[in-house]
Structure formats: C-alpha cells, structure tokens
Amino acid sequence: MIKIKMNVQTMYKGELLRAGKIYEINEKTAEKWIISNIASRVETEPENKKDNQ
C-alpha cells in the first residue's frame, strides 16, 4: 500500500475519492493512476525521525 494524492475525482470500489485528498491504495493500482496522471505519489517522511534537543 502506498499513499497517493488524487488529481481528479473518481469512484473506486464503491468509494468516492476526491481530488486533492490523500488516500492509501494498493501499489499496482496506484502505479497505473500515477502513469495516467489521475494521481500523484505522496512522499512520506520516516516515522522514526526525531529532534535531538
């Protein structure tokens, strides 16, 4: 599963995915949508990143 940001609104498996929102979706579908410019990949920061103060 990877996070994507929708560029357009679409229905997927009975769920409305809105443009501009971020969703987690299976990798195979996400790659197709990224290539088709339906969505773009969301870069995530590592969760273990900590401030040393």
- Contacts of residue 50, Cβ cutoff 8 Å, sequence gap at least 6: none
pTM equals: 0.75
pLDDT tens figures, 1-53 = 999 999 999 999 999 999 999 999 999 999 999 999 999 999 876 665 555 55
Task: Write down the pLDDT at residue 8.
Answer: 97
Helix and strand tally (H, E) in the chain? 1, 5
pLDDT score at 43: 86
**What local confidence, expressed as pLDDT, does residue 44 receive?**
74
Q: What is the pLDDT of residue 32?
A: 96
